[in-house]
């Protein structure tokens, strides 16, 4: 798994530096950094080329293609990579005009200003529009608390922003590009444009038409204090999945938006009754009370590599925080029909006793299986769960496999503590379920 992740990042790095290598080997400039003017021009070109390449890769990373998921060890990890690459693309594209402007400072401030302001040159205007659009949309992701459906709709404009950037790199002329940045520049720009626009079009328009989603019907809706348990049955062939994975669910109910949302699976491996548990976090999830038995549901997936069976032969510790218990419910149910080589301890931490989900089920499974223990942790009365408390209860923390799911702060704190106690990083597995 670790080797795959290294390979994935290596591929991204190599693709990002391809335009730099092409510039240095096929460009016509004899002295790229010979003087101030040449150095700033060269850096401006490099940042522009790398930024466009990374921008195109963000669309590829968002396609949910299985090969990419396998490469990074789960779709949740792919979304983390997607965010990092997107941020790097923005930074690179910001430095592109900055260095081109620095070329004219202090000798020609007016010419420098023309690069930053809209004018009669639409080739430059397209670049300004693309950069401002990218800054705006990424700012929405980082700083806004808008509803999921509106956030997702806003991200569909990234394709338009990329298109403006494509217009810029093909239309810009003169000193800004020296016409021929390197031999084959337009072929490379065309390839990047096709890959970016093709991946975006695939995700937005083609994927659901090419790959049919599984069709289910709502069977039951069970409300909890702060969550809903929704069970569904397939209309035709049931979905094949492993406990611990997650799916994208689209509900067909006129009172609910039709955007697909990611939810962890709470049922055991390949159960004909597919169950999810949804916490009431916002407008959409709160409206799930409007669901009715028999409502149509389309399901895309499964995704994720949160697989406890890969730690075969080892004693395991499962650690859940809040709604992060969901994947562990299906994994715990799996233990009824499987022989466990080692022992498994499940720590389930909540802020208040009323927040426990599946408490009776986990207690029952623990009583029936001597190798599976369930530790319910009420942080209101017992204090925050940490690595040292886990060690006190489960014994030596070394030579065990750890699986964590829950809020980022909760996981990060425990992982930090485990590492300090000598647990190897490769023995710790986490599910990053908090992506949009």
310, pLDDT greater than 60:
yes
> What average pLDDT does range 206-231 have in this prediction?
85
At a CB cut-off of 8 Å and minimum separation 6, what does 370 contact? none
The CA distances from residue 405 to 155, 204, 320, 330, in Å, are 27, 30, 5, 13
Per-residue confidence (pLDDT) for residue 436, from 0 to 100: 45
- Tell me the range of 217-221, 277-281, 313-317 where mean pLDDT is highest: 217-221
Mean pLDDT across 259-265: 90
- CB neighbour burial string for 79-100, b if at least 16 within 10 angstroms, e if fewer: bebbbebbebbbebbebbbebb
What pLDDT does residue 176 have? 47
Cα 266 to Cα 407: distance, rounded to the nearest angstrom: 17
* Token pair of 349 as six digits: 């931490």
Q: Where are the alpha helices (H) located in 250-325, listed in sequence order?
A: 283-286
Q: Where along the chain do its domains lie? A: 2-209, 214-303, 308-431
pLDDT bin (cut points 50, 70, 90) of residue 259 is confident
What average pLDDT does this structure show over 334-348?
85
d(CA 92, CA 58): 14
Beta bridge partners of 404: 319, 430
pTM above 0.75, yes or no: yes
* C-alpha span between 197 and 43 (Å, rounded): 26
Measured distance CA(327)–CA(306) in Å, rounded: 8
Of the CA atoms within 13 Å of residue 338, those in its CB half-sphere come to 19
pLDDT recorded at residue 234: 95
| CA angle (419, 434, 225) in 5-degree steps | 110
**Spatial distance between the Cα atoms of 102 and 107, rounded to a whole number of angstroms:** 10
The DSSP element (H or E) to which 165 belongs, if any, is helix 158-171
**Strands 296-303, 246-252: pairing kind:** antiparallel
pLDDT at 144 over 50: yes
Tell me the average pLDDT across 304-322.
88
Q: Which residues pair with 277 in a beta bridge?
A: 229
Is residue 49 predicted with pLDDT exceeding 90? Answer: yes
Q: Is there a common fold for 214-303 and 308-431?
A: no
- Architecture (CATH level 2) of domain 308-431: 3-Layer(aba) Sandwich (3.40)
Q: How far is the first Cα of the chain from the last one, in angstroms, to the nearest whole number?
A: 24
Q: CA-to-CA distance for 359 and 10, rounded, in angstroms?
A: 44
Q: Which CATH number applies to 214-303: 2.40.30.10, 3.40.50.920, 2.40.70.10, 1.10.10.60? A: 2.40.30.10
Q: Dihedral (C-alpha) 111, 112, 118, 123: value to the nearest 10 degrees?
A: 80
Token duo for residue 348: 């389930």
Whole-number percent of the chain with pLDDT over 70: 88
Query: In this predicted model, which residue has the larger pLDDT, 351 or 142?
Result: 351
Measure CA 201 to chain center. Answer: 19
Torsion angle, alpha carbons of 337, 338, 339, 345, to 10: -100
Strand-by-strand arrangement of the 261-264 sheet? 261-264, 246-252, 296-303, 214-223, 227-234, 273-279
User: Residue 104 corresponds to which tokens in the numbers above?
Assistant: 């004219």
* CA separation for the pair 142, 165 (Å, rounded): 22
Q: In sequence order, which ranges of 75-120 are alpha helices (DSSP H)? A: 75-102, 109-116
Residue range 22-37: mean pLDDT, rounded:
78
User: Using one digit for the tens of pLDDT, what is the confidence trace for 163-185?
Assistant: 999 999 888 754 444 446 788 88
């Amino acid at each position: 798994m670790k080797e795959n992740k290294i390979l994935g990042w290596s591929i991204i790095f190599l693709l990002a530096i391809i335009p730099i290598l092409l510039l240095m080997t096929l460009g016509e400039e004899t002295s790229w950094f010979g003087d101030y003017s040449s150095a700033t021009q060269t850096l401006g070109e490099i940042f522009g080329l790398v930024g466009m390449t990374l921008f195109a890769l963000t669309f590829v990373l968002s396609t949910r293609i299985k090969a990419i998921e396998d490469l990074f060890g789960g779709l949740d990890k792919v979304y983390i990579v997607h965010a990092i690459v997107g941020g790097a693309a923005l930074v690179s594209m910001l430095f592109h005009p900055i260095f081109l402007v620095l070329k004219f400072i202090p000798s020609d401030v007016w010419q420098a200003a023309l690069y930053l302001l809209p004018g009669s040159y639409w080739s430059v205007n397209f670049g300004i529009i693309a950069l401002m659009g990218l800054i705006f949309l990424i700012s929405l992701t980082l700083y806004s608390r808008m509803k999921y459906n509106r956030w997702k709709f806003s991200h569909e404009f990234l394709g338009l922003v990329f298109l403006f950037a494509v217009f810029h790199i093909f239309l810009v002329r003169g000193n800004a590009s020296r016409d021929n940045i390197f031999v084959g520049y337009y072929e490379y720009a065309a390839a990047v444009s096709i890959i970016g626009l093709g991946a975006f079009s695939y995700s937005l328009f083609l994927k659901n038409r090419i790959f049919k989603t599984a069709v289910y019907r709502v069977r039951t809706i069970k409300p909890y204090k702060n969550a809903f348990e929704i069970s569904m049955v397939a209309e035709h062939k049931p979905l094949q999945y492993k406990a611990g994975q997650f799916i994208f669910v689209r509900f067909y109910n006129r009172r609910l938006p039709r955007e697909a949302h990611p939810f962890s699976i709470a049922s055991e491996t390949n159960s004909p009754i597919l169950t999810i548990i949804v916490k009431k976090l916002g407008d959409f999830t709160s409206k799930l009370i409007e669901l009715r038995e028999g409502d149509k549901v389309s399901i895309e997936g499964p995704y994720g590599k949160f697989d406890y069976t890969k730690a075969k032969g080892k004693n395991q510790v499962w650690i859940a925080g809040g709604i992060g218990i969901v994947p562990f419910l299906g994994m715990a149910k799996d233990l009824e029909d499987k022989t466990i080589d080692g022992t498994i301890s499940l720590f389930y931490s909540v802020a208040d006793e009323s927040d426990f989900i599946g408490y009776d089920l986990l207690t029952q499974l623990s009583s029936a299986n001597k190798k599976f223990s369930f530790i319910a942790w009420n942080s209101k009365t017992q204090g925050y769960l940490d690595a040292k408390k886990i060690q006190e209860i489960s014994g030596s923390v070394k030579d065990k496999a750890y699986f964590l799911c829950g809020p980022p702060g909760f996981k990060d704190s425990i992982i930090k503590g485990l590492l300090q106690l000598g647990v190897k990083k490769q023995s710790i597995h986490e599910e990053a379920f908090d992506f949009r």
